[in-house]
Amino acid sequence: QRENEFFALLGPSGCGKTTLLRMLAGFETPNRGRIMLDGRDIAKTPPNKRPVNLMFQSYALFPHMSVRANV
């Protein structure tokens, strides 16, 4: 792990990219197994306590809504 490191996840439609990212971010929980990050299981750690970020593909999720409404 390096400071300010990021990565891209590529794959065909339906292969689980979004599900994986949502689980890493804490927006979904696995049915079984663990989510290991830096040697520790973060599967039950709330999203706001995880040292990860999720950036959506589109900068404006709902262009007809204000920034506040999108958050």
Place of tokens 């990050």: 37
What does the block give as tokens for 22? 């949502």
Average pLDDT, the chain: 85
> Within 13 A of 28's CA, how many CA atoms are on the CB side?
12
Q: Is the dihedral of CA 46, 47, 48, 52 positive or negative?
A: positive
pLDDT tens for 12-37 read 999 999 899 999 999 999 999 999 99
CATH number reported for the structural domain that contains residue 49 in this entry: 3.40.50.300
What domain range is 6 assigned to?
Answer: 1-54
Tally of domains in the chain: 1
Mean pLDDT for 2-17 is 86
70 assigned to some structural domain: no
Q: Average of pLDDT values for 40-61?
A: 82
d(CA 13, CA 25): 20
